[in-house]
Amino acid sequence: MQKLRVDNFSISIDGFGAGTGQSLENPLGKNGMDLHQWFFPTVAFQQMKGGKQGETGIDNDFALKGLERAGACIMGRNMFGPVRGKWPDDKWKGWWAENPPYHCPVFVLTNHARESITMEGGTSFHFETEGIHAALQRAKEAASGMDIRLCGGVRTIRQYLKEGLIDQMHIAISSVLLGTGEHLFEGIDMVGLGYKCIHSAPSARVLHVIITKGN
């Protein structure tokens, strides 16, 4: 059965998944990069960058599990890039240079239409203007029976959570405080929506939590 899942998503102790003041130079906002310091040293991340060295252990185990290939991905407009409003041109193709790490069709939620983009390594970006349900349906069709990964950012995950559409979440709770920013769970009744924590595991840097919907 296909699942819509969130993998390797980091939040602060006080629940923020991104800081304030996101920009081209600071895509995760003020102190947002601090949330991901568990991920950057892992073998999984280093291999994504073409390296061979990195740390093994529990953080790497979770990172590798989260990077298992999905058949399609969904992300918000802000996750794709810093451009706001109407697309001024077709120059911006994401943060990831010519070979993004997704290697599958990616559906970008936006209010402004744009032609699809084909990148190296099997990644293609498709710009969905008809909302979260239409994007999920298109992603399911493109995934050919495989899971769909919901990549973020916070606002996009919240939209799918409020509708109870996410089947599984891996949240890494980093040992930092942000104070302000984009809060992941604020105002969302996770229990009322049928979610529960089925597993948690601490490492030196984060607490890994697995949340699922239903039995």
Q: How many CA atoms lie within 13 A of 2 on its CB side?
A: 21
Per-residue pLDDT at 149: 97
CATH architecture of 4-21+28-81+99-189+196-213: 3-Layer(aba) Sandwich (3.40)
Q: Express as a percent the part of the chain with pLDDT over 90.
A: 75
* Average pLDDT across the chain, whole number: 93
pTM to 2 decimals?
Answer: 0.93
Residue 51 in this model has a pLDDT that exceeds 80 = no
Per-residue pLDDT at 215: 60
Per-residue pLDDT at 68: 84
How confident is the model over 75-98, as pLDDT tens digits?
999 899 888 899 999 889 988 889
Per-residue pLDDT at 49: 72
**Residues across the chain:** 215
Q: Mean pLDDT over residues 162-180, rounded?
A: 96
CB 34 within 8 A of CB 196: no
